[in-house]
């Protein structure tokens, strides 16, 4: 029987980076229902099925409701928080005493609020003395971060969602917003300019089906293809010479480099015709407002950083930056991937500072009232190096917070063996049932979205609020309060005395952001974020000096100035390198991976708990096969097939569809089976895993 609410409040959704506003219907302080917020600048009154079901998944039977410790026989038993935190502290301290500070690490997430990320990063590295820690954002956004930092001088996605509605040409590279970012895609549909939509993707995705042009390229030919398009843009006279002269550097090297990518050669290697390359160059060159968008098809690639920069180059040389409807725009993945980029204290010193800079270390120490000698000068290891550190026996204890590497890390069988090699694995999560929790020695029960306060930062740099509208089950605590308790048991509670609640930490974050490109010193606390429907960074004290609320849509680089000291963006090119693995006689088929549905999220840890979302998606794994290949294998729709790679094997139901080209197949990442096949290979600049392509053999069962 539905209960009537006595009030409503708005919170930002906790799945994808769109950051939709969800209206929570609250009775006696507890949310009893949810509808999309109609008065929020992001989502225009809409939400996707995951958002609609955001409350349902909090009620699942497998919520972790008390700390749990592994029994000698392999099962778990409940323990008190006191026992759990003593065990946690004793095991980590003992490991660090015996093997040094480099023998422990944490792996975090883009799914917790910025305040919790900041607390974890500061506590682990400044308070507990950890050297190594990283986030699962390494799996989704590291490439975009590196590309922007090198090209612009700061990790700064330049766009605002209004740009979707103001372009007349839109190029999506390795992005499928139709299902991955469906509410952002709704903006494209509302664009009154009847935009030309160009999709560059080896698979005929839902977005490609809606496009004006689909460049269905051979897997891993994207960098050469983008260089060939760039060369055509230059040769056909579409360069915005005054913009290039005033706002960029490196054009001559770029022009010389891309001139080596002849139409015929690239057409042969990419499978895209010379005519189509010219046609796309013409569209980009002639467009009044051209925006280029990318996501995981670019980021999760062995040369992803350079591909992202090839996209950035195209926007820059055609002057498509800083104007309505333009930009080289990385669509973020997780709800708070941007928070991780700025606040997790992993790749960057907290607040987008530099670990290696003595001035930055002093500023951070002073702002946080933490001894400067506690601020490390080294950023520590990224995710892949942490996993390799486990293999070498150097990392012996690991703290995993709200992420699921036993499902999501590349080459999953290997990842699970590594987790089992650890002396001590702590998993802090909402659910005790995740694949990673099954390997844990200690499980710490955490509250989730809707059960705690804080801020997320969405794809367009908007801080939005999440709110506590439910009590977490049993003894589960917010990650924030778990970090507070860990600080106390570790003996550094005093150091974090001012980190009293999320809004107090937000205030510290504001101080840390002062004079950075991500300056938020002008935000007047959570109340203003709530009232304004979120606030995009930057919003500095000087911007706020006239005491008005910030405009609801703001893009960066409107003055043609970039964060580098000389104000110029860099045009960066590189040599093409061969893919780490390609089809061969033994493994003759490309396996592509990616998001398969609007209704599931990542490893399904949360979304599988909703009966509605489960009904919207096949429970059994499936693999898309081209009809020609299916015919060769004597396979029809629904037949079971075995998929083998050099790493492992999986079984899936065949889905015979022409979405993939002959010689290619596709499996969604949401199934546990998929990463049993993927190849441990990484973009050398960002450390991001190359999930998207590997070689497999498919046989009928």
> Would you tell me which residues interact with ligand SF4 (CB under 6 A)?
13, 15-16, 18-20, 43, 47-48, 50-51, 182-183
Burial class (CB in 10 A: 0-12, 13-18, 19+), 680: middle
Q: Which two tokens stand for residue 48?
A: 């996707």
Nearer to ligand SF4, 606 or 681 (CB): 606
The least CB distance from residue 53 to ligand SF4, in Å, is 9
Residue nearest to ligand SF4 (CB): 51
> Alpha helix locations (H) across 62-113?
81-99
609: Cα separation from own chain's centroid = 22
Closest approach, Cβ 595 to ligand SF4, in A, equals: 11
Euclidean distance between CA atoms 50 and 48, whole angstroms: 6
Asked if 320 contacts 291 with a C-beta cutoff of 8 angstroms, the reply is yes
Which residue, among 169, 204, 209, 458, has the nearest Cα to 293 in the 3D structure?
A: 169
Nearest distance, CB of residue 455 and ligand SF4, angstroms: 14
| CB 20, min distance to ligand SF4, A | 3
Residue nearer to ligand SF4 on the CB measure, 92 or 164:
164
Of 34 and 573, nearer to ligand SF4 (C-beta) is 34
Distance CA 68, CA 65 (A): 9
Cα(140)–Cα(97) distance, integer angstroms: 34
Query: Cβ closer to ligand SF4: 153 or 333?
Result: 333
At 79, list the tokens: 């323990």
**Is there a contact between 381 and 134 (Cβ–Cβ < 8 Å)?**
yes
Of 379, 385, 380, nearest to 353 by C-alpha is 379
Min dist. Cβ of residue 331 to ligand SF4 (A): 11
Question: Number of C-alpha atoms within 13 angstroms, CB side, residue 583?
Answer: 15
CB of 533 to ligand SF4, least distance (A): 14
Return the bridge partners of 464, or none: 456
Exposure of 77 by Cβ count < 10 A (0-12 exposed, 13-18 middle, 19+ buried)? exposed
d(CA 274, CA 266): 8
C-alpha to C-alpha distance for 57 and 450, rounded to whole angstroms: 11
Q: How far is the CB of 185 from ligand SF4 (least distance, A)?
A: 9
The helices-and-strands tally (H runs, E runs) of the chain is 25, 26
Residue 658 C-beta: closest distance to ligand SF4, Å: 28
The residue among 18 and 404 lying less far from ligand SF4, judged by its C-beta, is 18
β-strands 327-330, 196-200: how paired? unpaired
**Least Cβ distance, residue 470 to ligand SF4 (angstroms):** 17
CB burial of residue 414 (10 Å; 0-12, 13-18, 19+): middle
Other CB atoms within 10 Å distance of the CB of residue 354: 13
Tokens of 205: 């995705």
378: phi then psi, degrees, rounded to nearest 5: -125, 140
Nearer to ligand SF4, 18 or 313 (CB): 18
* Cβ nearer to ligand SF4, comparing 587 with 601: 601
The residue among 19 and 195 lying less far from ligand SF4, judged by its C-beta, is: 19
Residue with tokens 């506690």: 374
Residue 43 Cβ vs ligand SF4, minimum distance, rounded to whole Å: 6
| Six token digits for residue 571 | 């045009």
Quote the least distance from Cβ 2 to ligand SF4, whole Å. 21
Type and span of the H or E element at 462 = strand 462-466
CA 342, chain centre distance (Å): 13
Q: Which lies closer to ligand SF4 via its Cβ, residue 408 or residue 513?
A: 408
DSSP 8-state assignment for residue 607: G
Report in angstroms how near the CB of residue 22 gets to ligand SF4 at its nearest.
7
Nearer to ligand SF4, 185 or 562 (CB): 185
Between residues 46 and 267, which has the closer beta carbon with respect to ligand SF4?
A: 46
Residue 16 or 368: the one with the smaller Cβ distance to ligand SF4 is 16
């Amino acid at each position: 029987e539905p209960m009537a609410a006595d009030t409503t409040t708005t919170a930002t959704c906790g799945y994808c980076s769109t950051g939709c506003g969800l209206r929570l219907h609250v009775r006696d302080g507890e949310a009893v229902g949810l509808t999309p917020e109609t008065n929020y600048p992001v989502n225009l009154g809409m939400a996707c099925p995951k958002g609609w079901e955001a409350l349902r998944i909090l009620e699942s039977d497998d919520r972790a409701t008390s700390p749990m410790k592994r029994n000698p026989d392999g099962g778990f038993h409940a323990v008190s928080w006191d026992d759990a935190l003593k065990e946690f502290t004793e095991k980590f301290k003992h490991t660090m005493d015996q093997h040094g500070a480099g023998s422990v690490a944490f792996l975090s997430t883009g799914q917790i609020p910025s305040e919790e990320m900041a607390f974890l990063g500061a506590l682990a590295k400044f308070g507990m003395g950890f050297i190594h820690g990283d986030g699962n954002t390494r799996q989704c956004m590291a490439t975009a971060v590196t590309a922007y930092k090198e090209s612009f001088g700061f990790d700064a996605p330049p766009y605002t969602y209004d740009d979707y509605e103001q372009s007349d040409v839109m190029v999506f590279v390795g992005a499928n917003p139709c299902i991955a970012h469906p509410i952002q895609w709704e903006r494209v549909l509302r664009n009154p300019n009847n935009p030309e939509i160009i999709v560059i993707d080896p698979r005929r995705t839902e977005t490609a089906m809606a496009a004006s042009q689909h460049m269905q390229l051979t897997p891993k030919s994207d960098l050469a293809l983008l260089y060939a398009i760039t060369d055509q843009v230059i040769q056909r006279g579409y360069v915005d010479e005054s913009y290039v002269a005033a706002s960029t550097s490196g054009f001559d090297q770029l022009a010389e480099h891309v001139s080596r990518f002849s139409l015929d050669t690239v057409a042969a290697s990419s499978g895209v015709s010379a005519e189509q390359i010219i046609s796309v160059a013409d569209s980009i060159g002639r467009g009044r407002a051209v925006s280029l968008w990318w996501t995981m098809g670019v980021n999760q690639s062995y040369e992803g950083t350079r591909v992202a920069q090839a996209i950035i180059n195209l926007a820059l040389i055609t002057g498509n930056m800083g104007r309505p409807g333009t930009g080289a725009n990385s669509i973020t993945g997780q709800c708070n991937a941007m928070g991780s980029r700025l606040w997790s204290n992993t790749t960057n010193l907290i607040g987008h500072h530099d670990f290696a800079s003595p001035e930055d270390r002093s500023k951070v120490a002073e702002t946080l009232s933490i001894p400067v000698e506690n601020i490390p000068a080294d950023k520590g290891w990224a995710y892949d190096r942490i996993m390799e550190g486990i293999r070498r026996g150097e990392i012996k204890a690991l703290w995993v917070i709200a992420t699921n590497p036993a499902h999501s890390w590349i080459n999953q069988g290997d990842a699970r063996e590594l987790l089992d090699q650890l002396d001590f694995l702590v998993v802090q999560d909402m659910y005790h049932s995740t694949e990673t929790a099954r390997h844990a020695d200690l499980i710490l029960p955490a509250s989730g979205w809707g059960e705690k306060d804080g801020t997320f930062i969405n794809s367009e740099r908007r801080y939005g609020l999440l709110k506590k509208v439910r009590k977490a089950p049993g003894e589960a605590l917010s990650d924030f309060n778990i970090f507070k308790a860990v600080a106390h048991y570790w003996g550094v509670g005093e150091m974090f005395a001012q980190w009293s609640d999320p809004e107090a930490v937000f205030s510290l974050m504001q101080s840390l952001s002062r004079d950075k490109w991500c300056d938020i010193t002008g935000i007047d606390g959570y109340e203003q974020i709530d009232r304004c429907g979120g606030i995009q960074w930057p919003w500095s004290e000087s911007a706020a000096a006239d005491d008005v609320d910030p405009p609801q849509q703001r893009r960066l680089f409107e003055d043609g100035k970039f964060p580098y000291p000389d104000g110029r963006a860099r045009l960066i090119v590189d040599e093409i390198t061969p893919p780490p693995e390609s089809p061969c006689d033994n493994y003759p088929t490309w396996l592509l991976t990616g998001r398969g549905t609007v209704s599931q999220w990542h490893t399904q840890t949360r979304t599988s708990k909703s009966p509605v979302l489960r009904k919207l998606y096949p429970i059994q794994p499936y693999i898309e096969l081209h009809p020609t290949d299916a015919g060769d294998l004597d396979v029809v729709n629904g037949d079971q097939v075995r998929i083998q790679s050099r790493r492992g094997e999986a079984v899936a139901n065949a889905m015979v569809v022409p979405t993939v080209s002959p010689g290619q197949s596709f499996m969604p990442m949401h199934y546990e089976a998929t990463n049993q096949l993927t190849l441990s290979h990484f973009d050398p600049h960002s450390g991001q895993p190359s999930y998207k392509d590997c070689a497999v053999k498919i046989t009928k069962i």
